[in-house]
């Protein structure tokens, strides 16, 4: 099935854009939500995390000890890379399982991931969308949504690849600056993906 990856910096509005695609009937896999889920449900991953960060990574009832993990990986790039090396492949597996149960008549799927480019996940998609918005707008949105300070948002932003870097790897863009309608931008891309997916399906059926 034709797969489209979608990403964007914190507060760019990628989840909001995905909701518009969902209204059009396009299934969306939310990689960050899936990652949180599988950190307690994927036995292989749970085992890997315990081996890497200690048994105290989980409480007795099986819940993740976020504080313990965060304490290790926060501001420690090597430990964070270790965690990502365990979580990212598990999320790829979860995506494959999710995609396998999608109705064959669905024209294409979306994979929303904050670290689409950083994790290498984009290599497993057919096209990618980068959602962008001005930095000050993104800061205001996240301050309001998460009830945090501008400094806290900026600190999170500093840990992400810049839009300039991400745009080198993106095929399509949605500018969510609240001036151009995101609905119209999504509709235009939807049309493009329907055509491409139809074309690919035709070629696959003809085994060309
Ligand atoms: P994160 O990476 O932090 O998960 P995100 O890129 O998924 O963020 P959203 O959660 O979609 O961003 O949007 C951030 C906040 O901004 C939300 O509260 C959302 O409702 C709001 N927002 C997004 N786009 C718009 C818009 N065009 N107009 C008004 N508010 C918006």
Name the closest-CA residue to atom 24, ligand 1: 13
- 15 C-beta closer than 6 A to ligand 1: yes
The closest-lying atom of ligand 1 relative to the alpha carbon of residue 177 is 27
- CB burial of 113-141 (b: ≥16 within 10 Å; e: otherwise) equals bbbbbbbebbeebebbbbbbbebeebbeb
In whole angstroms, how large is the CA radius of gyration of the chain? 18
Q: What is the pLDDT at residue 159?
A: 86
Residue 61 Cα to ligand 1 middle (Å) = 33
The 10s digit of each residue's pLDDT in 11-55 is 999 999 999 999 999 999 999 999 999 999 999 999 999 999 999
Domains, the chain, ranges and CATH?
1-27+106-208 (3.40.50.300), 31-101 (3.40.50.300)
Name the closest-CA residue to atom 4, ligand 1: 10
User: What are 12's two structure tokens?
Assistant: 């760019």
Residue 133 Cα to ligand 1 middle (Å) = 10
Mean of the pLDDT values across residues 98-123?
Answer: 94
The 10s digit of each residue's pLDDT in 111-155 is 999 999 988 999 999 999 999 999 999 999 999 999 999 999 999
Q: What is the pLDDT at residue 207?
A: 64
Give the confidence band of 200 by pLDDT, cuts at 50, 70, 90.
confident
Name the closest-CA residue to atom 9, ligand 1: 13
User: What are 205's two structure tokens?
Assistant: 């059926």
Give the confidence band of 197 by pLDDT, cuts at 50, 70, 90.
confident
Q: What is the mean pLDDT of the chain?
A: 94
Q: What is the pLDDT at residue 208?
A: 56
Q: What is the pLDDT at residue 12?
A: 97
Q: What is the pLDDT at residue 75?
A: 83
pLDDT of 79 over the 70 cut? yes
Give the confidence band of 174 by pLDDT, cuts at 50, 70, 90.
very high
- CB distance 129 to 172 below 8 Å: yes
Helix (H, G, I), strand (E, B) or coil at 14: helix
């Amino acid at each position: 099935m034709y797969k489209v990856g979608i990403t964007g910096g914190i507060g760019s509005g990628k989840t909001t854009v995905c909701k518009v695609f969902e209204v059009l009937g396009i299934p969306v896999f939310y990689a960050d939500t899936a990652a949180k889920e599988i950190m307690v449900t994927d036995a292989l991953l749970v085992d890997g995390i315990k081996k890497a960060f200690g048994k105290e990574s989980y409480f007795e009832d099986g819940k993740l000890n976020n504080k313990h993990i965060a304490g290790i990986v926060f501001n420690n790039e090597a430990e964070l890379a270790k965690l990502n090396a365990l979580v990212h492949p598990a999320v790829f597996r979860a995506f494959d399982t999710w995609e396998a149960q999608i109705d064959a008549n669905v024209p294409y799927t979306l994979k929303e991931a904050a670290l689409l480019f950083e994790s290498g996940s984009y290599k497993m998609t057919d096209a990618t969308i980068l959602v962008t918005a001005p930095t000050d707008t993104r800061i205001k949105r996240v301050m309001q949504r998460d009830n945090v300070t501008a400094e806290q948002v900026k600190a999170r932003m500093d840990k992400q690849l810049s839009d300039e870097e991400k745009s080198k790897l993106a095929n399509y863009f949605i500018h969510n600056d609240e001036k151009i309608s995101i609905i119209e931008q999504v509709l235009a891309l939807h049309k493009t993906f329907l055509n491409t997916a139809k074309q690919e399906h035709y070629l696959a059926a003809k085994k060309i």
